Structure 1
Amino acid sequence: MYMELHLTKREPAKHMADLIGYQCSPIETTFYDTKHMSIFFRALVEELVMLEEGVIFKINDDNDTSVFTRIFLIGACCDKPAQALLQHLPEPTAAFDCGRCEVQDFMVRTEHDDNVRSFAMILNAIEETDLRSNTRYDNLLNLKLLHEQMRESFSGGKKKSLIEQQKEAEKGILGPCILRELSFFYVGRGFMADTLHNVYMDAFKRLIPLWFDSDYRFEDWSIKSRLNELQLVFRKLHLPSNTSRLLRCLTLYSKFKANEMRILLLYGYVIFKNILGTKYYNHFLKLVLMMHFIRKSTN
């Protein structure tokens, strides 16, 4: 990211060294907030705006040709915390944290007397939930600014109570999206799904314990008793020659890194055939096929 900035912008960028430190240090990342992101991205956004207006590029050929070109950013791929910072939305797992839509959460009591936030929806609720768009985002931002002006005349408990009441109407908007200045960047669908964090380290990592964890050993989908058998079968598989990291023992599934999850899903799915129940295997196979299709379409 730093190397993408123009040379004249690198040194003067305010707090640049600190920001890089925040990104690299697991302790200081707690200070890596939207304000710092705005400072960090200011020079980059200015350069993107300049590219939208058009730049003359010289082609290294016999005629020394020059071409006027306009370049537009139409998509960004980030992990969830970074996307929340860029969109100026609540952190992941918070209320109205989804960057694609305005789904509202509700709290669910667990068997351990804790509360967890659920975003489950019925079909009607899905159809009625607004997607995030530039127009919708601008309207909600204006609403938030109006609410802030209204609250200036209140203080103490009354002001705090008013903030809580207005949060639902604001749908999680905390401020302007850093990339909103760009002509063809869409606040909602402009942020693309990240397979690393959304599939391999999220959906699939949540699915594996359902099969192997002892808490579900009496469920129809549990294959905990056949874990060692699966391990032996997997060791006989011939993985692609470009596989950079081999899986550890399947009994260590809870410690698998993203690449191990990726290999197990993309190439190890076949070991579950005739071990998982038919309906569960077929359901899993749909996820595998979808991921192979996505990989093929992006290569």
Structure 2
Amino acid sequence: MNQQDCINEIKNLQDFQMDIQGWADIGYNFLICNYNDDQQQIYRVKELTQLERIGLQYTPISSSNCVDQTIRVFVIVATCDRPATSLIINHTEAGGYYGCIHCENIKIGGDNARVFVQNDNDDFELRSNDTYDEAVALLQRSSSEERRNSITSINDGLDGLRGPCELRTLKYFDVYQSFLSDTLHTLYEGVMARMLHIFFDSVSRKTGITP
């Protein structure tokens, strides 16, 4: 997340007549825990919820009477690489069916690559808290009903969701749209691949490098 992204989000919150006093960031390792330690992630999100509801107290330097003030903290955006984002959301990996966290497009490109580029005429639905809630409702249906557990299933209505995401409890956080684009995997990776094709457009017997 860069400074301009934060400023834009703060402006949006100000439209709700909220008193915005500043912004800060939290390292994504705060939310990524051991695969077998889901309780630790739940605990950490509860801490964020406490910051929303109760806030934290501090004493302004300019306060002559040393009077404490309370400030409430809201998580509004997150920036992670694509594998980390999938892990936090509890979503299918980026290269799988329904792997895009921004829409439900499952187009397949050349060489079995999953691509998620749409035209203006394409009919697609952006992901949101609402689409997340619908998928979670399917996950929470009666255990007596048969459910496919394959993460590559495209017919179970889950659209790539593998389980609940604890961040859904945060007030101003959208489980899908609040994650910013991962420029490393979505932009620079393709640029680097193209540059390598330009630099090494023929097989090098000495180095073994191929296009």
Q: Fold conserved (TM > 0.5)?
A: yes
Residue in 1 aligned with 2:105?
103
Alignment of 1:1-299 (within 5 A): 32-33=34-35, 35-36=36-37, 38-59=38-59, 60=61, 61-106=63-108, 108=110, 110=111, 116-119=112-115, 121-123=117-119, 127-146=122-141, 149-151=144-146, 164=153, 166-167=155-156, 169-200=157-188, 202-214=189-201
Q: Give the letter for the 1:78 counterpart.
A: C
**Any gaps of 5 or more consecutive residues in structure 2?**
1-26
How far apart in 2 are the matches of 1:3 and 1:196? Answer: 18
Higher helix share: 1
User: Based on CA coordinates, which of the two structures has the bigger radius of gyration?
Assistant: 1
Greater RCO (CA < 8 Å, at least 6 residues apart):
2
How far apart in 1 are the matches of 2:154 and 2:181? Answer: 31
1:249-292 Cα deviation digits (max 9, x unpaired): xxx9x8xxxxxxxxxxxxxxxxxxxxxxxxxxxxxxxxxxxxxx
User: What is the count of residue pairs matched by the alignment?
Assistant: 176
Q: Give the letter for the 1:138 counterpart.
A: D
How far apart in 2 are the matches of 1:3 and 1:84? Answer: 14
Relative to the length of structure 1, the TM-score reads 0.50
Relative to the length of structure 2, the TM-score reads 0.68
Kept in 1: contact 2:100–2:116 (CA 8 A) = no
Q: Give the letter for the 1:51 counterpart.
A: L
Kept in 1: contact 2:77–2:173 (CA 8 A) = yes
How far apart in 2 are the matches of 1:105 and 1:147? Answer: 32
Inter-CA distance 165–199: structure 2 relative to 1 (3 Å threshold): closer
Kept in 1: contact 2:97–2:154 (CA 8 A) = no
Inter-CA distance 93–183: structure 2 relative to 1 (3 Å threshold): same
Kept in 2: contact 1:58–1:64 (CA 8 A) = no
Inter-CA distance 211–46: structure 2 relative to 1 (3 Å threshold): same
CA RMSD of aligned residues (A): 3.4
How far apart in 2 are the matches of 1:76 and 1:160? Answer: 28
1:138-174 Cα deviation digits (max 9, x unpaired): 012212333864207xxxxxx689x94633x221111
SS in structure 2 of the partner of residue 123 of structure 1: coil
1:194-229 Cα deviation digits (max 9, x unpaired): 3344333x23212212322315x9xxxxxxxxxxxx
**Any gaps of 5 or more consecutive residues in structure 1?**
6-15, 20-31, 111-115, 153-158, 218-251, 255-299
